[in-house]
Structure 1
Amino acid sequence: MATKEFRRILLDGNPVDVVVEGDELVAGDGRRVAIADATHLPPVTPSKIVCVHLNYRSRVEEMMTSLPKAPTYFHKPVSALNTHEGAVVRPEGCKWLNYEGEIAIVIGKTCRNISPEEAGDYIRGYTVANDYGLHDFRDTDSGSMLRVKGADTLCPVGPGIVEGWDFRGKRIRTIVNGEVKQDGTTDEMEWDMHYLVADIARTITLQPGDLLLSGTPAISRTVYPGDVVEVEVEGLGTLRNHIVTGPTPIRTDVGAQVTESEEVLSTAQGGDWEFRGIRKPKPPQP
C-alpha cells in the first residue's frame, strides 16, 4: 500500500489541512506552499494522549529492570500538545528536561472493545512524537507522571500523519545538536501498535484523532535551552524542536516542589550513572 502524508498548517491566517507533494504542501483549494516556508500546527486535535511506560528492549535493559506481564500507561493532557518546529519550554526553576523519541499512533475512527487483529482498521496512520519529561517532578504524583510529562509544550508531534505506513522493522533515532543520541528499531517493541490500541480500547473509548505514544528506545538524556532536538523515523519524517527557558519561575507557595533525589538524577542522566562512574549529572545550563 502506498503511503500518503497529511499535515496541518497555518495558511493565510487559517488552519488548513494539506497534502505533501514533493517539497510542497497542497491545500484542497489548490493553494501551494513550500514545506520550508510553512508554519506547522499539530496534525490532529486529540481528545486524549495515552503513553506506554516501557516497551523497547534497549530501554528496559538500560533501566536495569524487567517488563511487566502487560503494558502500563500514563496520560499527557492535551494542553501539552506541541508541533513541528515549536519551542519546548523548560520552566524557570527546573533543570532535568529529557527527550524521548517515539512513534505516535493516530486513531482514525471510534474504537472500543476490539481485538489486536482488528486494530489496524481503526488506525488512521502514524506520526513522530517526542515525549518530553520534567524529571524535577519525578518524586511527586505517586507515579502518575502527570507533572513529569504533562507540562505545556511537552508533547510535540508531527510534522504530519502518514497513512499506509507499516510499522514493522522501522528505524527511530533522536538527534541532539546534530549528534545521534537514540538509535533503535520498532522490532525492539515488546507490544506492537495493534496490541496497544486493543489493550487501551478494552475500557477506554478511543476517538478519531486520539494519540497513543508507543515507547522510546534507550538513551533518554537531559537537554538544555538552546538545544535543537530532532526525532527521525523511517518513513514518517523528522520532528524538530528547540528548547527554551520559560519566563515564569515555578511557584513555591503551592504544591510539591522540584527535587534532585537519586531517583531524579539517575533517571535524567541514565539509570547506571552512579554504578559505572559515568554519565554524572551535567551541570545545568542557564
Structure 2
Amino acid sequence: MTSRATTIEYRRVLLDGAAVQVVREGDELIAPDGRTVKASEAHHLPPVTPSKVIAVHLNHRSRVAEFGVTLPPAPTYFHKPVSALNSHGGAVVRPEGCKYLNYEGEIGIVIGRTCRNVAPAQAGSYIAGFTVANDYGLHDFRDTDAGSMLRVKGSDTLCPLGPGLVTGWDFHGKYLRTYVNGELVQDGSTDEMEWDMHYLVADIARTITLEPGDVLLSGTPAGSRPVRPGDTVEVEAEGLGRLTNHIVTGPTAIRTDVGAQPTESEEVRSTALGGDWELRGVRAPRR
C-alpha cells in the first residue's frame, strides 16, 4: 500500500531586512537559523521568484458554461510579466479611471527543475509544488489588448501568489474558493479542470523551456466579477492555504497623452460580469 505524501509549506518573508525562505509549522514560520516569526505578523514576499508566469485562458468547466462557449481542442495561454508579481497581504492596485478589475482565484504550478519536451506522465517529477494565485484582470483594456492580454493581466500588482509553496500536495479533488469581504463568490474544484496540472506543464514545455521557479496558472472557476478599492479578496485552495489581498486606488490616473484609453464596451462588460450582462440583467459594478 502506498503511503500518502507529506506536505511541507515553504514561505518567503522579509525577516530583519532580508528575504528569507522559512518553513511553516502551525502558526509559526521558522528560518534556517532558528529565528521564528508569527505567520500572521510576517511581511510576506512571493513564495517563488519565477523567470516567467504563464496562464491558461479557459480550463474550468463551470467558467466555460458561464460564458456559454465551447472549449477549443487544446488549451490556449497568455503571459503575465514578473513585474506583476504580488504577495500574500499585498495591495492590488486598480488604476484611477478604471473600474473593471476582476479577481480570478487559481492554483499556481511551480516548476522545480528545468523542463523541456516531457510527456504528461513525466511532468509531475518536474513540479516543485503548488501555490494559491489570484489572476487579476483589468478588463478596461480588453478592447485593445484582448489578443495579448498584456495590460489586462500583466499590469503591476495583478499576480498575487502565496502564502507559500506547498510540496507533496495531490491536486486531485481539491476545492478552490474565493471570498470578497467574507462572502463566497467562487466555489470550484480541481476536478472540473478540462486539462490537469501535468497536461498543462507538458503542453507548454513542448516549445518553451520551463526553469525552476516558473509558475503556470491553471484557470479559474465561474464567478469572477469586478472588485473596487476597499475590498478584501481571499482565495483558498484546500491544502494550500488562503491568499489575502486588498484593493486600492492607484495614486495617478491613466495618462491620456499616449496609448489607448480604458473602454466600457459590451465586450468589456460581458467579460467582466460573466457573459451576456445585458440579457441577464446584471448591474454594472460599484464604482
TM-score (norm. length: structure 1)? 0.98
Q: Distance in 2 between matches of 1:188 and 1:47?
A: 29
Give the deviation of 1:249 after TM superposition: 0.7
* Aligned partner of 1:52 among 56, 73, 80: 56
> In the alignment, what sits opposite 1:215?
219
Unpaired segments ≥5 residues, structure 1: none
Q: Distance in 2 between matches of 1:60 and 1:280?
A: 21
Give the deviation of 1:280 after TM superposition: 1.8
> In the alignment, what sits opposite 2:13?
9
Q: Distance in 2 between matches of 1:263 and 1:46?
A: 32
> In the alignment, what sits opposite 2:129?
125
**Contact 2:94/2:249 (8 A) holds in 1:** yes
Secondary structure of 1:105's counterpart equals strand
Give the deviation of 1:142 after TM superposition: 4.7
* Aligned partner of 1:30 among 26, 29, 34: 34
Can you list the C-alpha shifts for 1:256-279, whole angstroms capped at 9, x where unaligned? 1110000001111120321122x2
Q: CA RMSD in A?
A: 0.7
Secondary structure of 1:118's counterpart equals helix
Mark the CA change 1:142 to 1:173 in structure 2 (over 3 Å): closer, same or farther.
Answer: closer
- What code does the residue aligned with 1:282 have? P
Give the deviation of 1:59 after TM superposition: 0.0
Q: Distance in 2 between matches of 1:73 and 1:127?
A: 19
> In the alignment, what sits opposite 2:77?
73
Q: Tell me if 1:159 matches 2:163.
A: yes
Give the deviation of 1:56 after TM superposition: 0.2
Secondary structure of 2:202's counterpart equals helix
> In the alignment, what sits opposite 1:18?
22
* Aligned partner of 1:115 among 113, 119, 124: 119
Unpaired segments ≥5 residues, structure 2: none
Q: Tell me if 1:274 matches 2:260.
A: no
Q: Distance in 1 between matches of 2:125 and 2:154?
A: 29
Number of matched residues? 283
* Aligned partner of 1:196 among 200, 216, 222: 200
> In the alignment, what sits opposite 2:138?
134
Secondary structure of 2:213's counterpart equals coil
Q: Tell me if 1:245 matches 2:236.
A: no
Q: Tell me if 1:106 matches 2:110.
A: yes
Q: Which runs of 4+ in 1 moved over 4 A?
A: none
Q: Distance in 1 between matches of 2:129 and 2:106?
A: 14
Can you list the C-alpha shifts for 1:103-156, whole angstroms capped at 9, x where unaligned? 000000000000000000000000000000000000013511001001000000
Q: Distance in 1 between matches of 2:144 and 2:159?
A: 20
Q: Distance in 2 between matches of 1:117 and 1:206?
A: 17
Q: Distance in 1 between matches of 2:26 and 2:138?
A: 37
* Aligned partner of 1:186 among 187, 190, 207: 190
Can you list the C-alpha shifts for 1:78-116, whole angstroms capped at 9, x where unaligned? 000000000000011111100000000000000000000
Secondary structure of 1:138's counterpart equals helix
**Contact 2:228/2:286 (8 A) holds in 1:** no
Alignment of 1:251-266 (within 5 A): 251-266=255-270
- What code does the residue aligned with 1:105 have? I
Give the deviation of 1:70 after TM superposition: 0.1
Q: Distance in 2 between matches of 1:66 and 1:81?
A: 31
- What code does the residue aligned with 2:182 have? G
Q: Distance in 2 between matches of 1:283 and 1:21?
A: 40
TM-score (norm. length: structure 2)? 0.98
Q: Distance in 1 between matches of 2:70 and 2:145?
A: 23
> In the alignment, what sits opposite 2:175?
171
**Contact 2:102/2:137 (8 A) holds in 1:** yes
Q: Distance in 2 between matches of 1:12 and 1:228?
A: 27
Q: Distance in 2 between matches of 1:237 and 1:281?
A: 32
**Contact 1:62/1:272 (8 A) holds in 2:** no
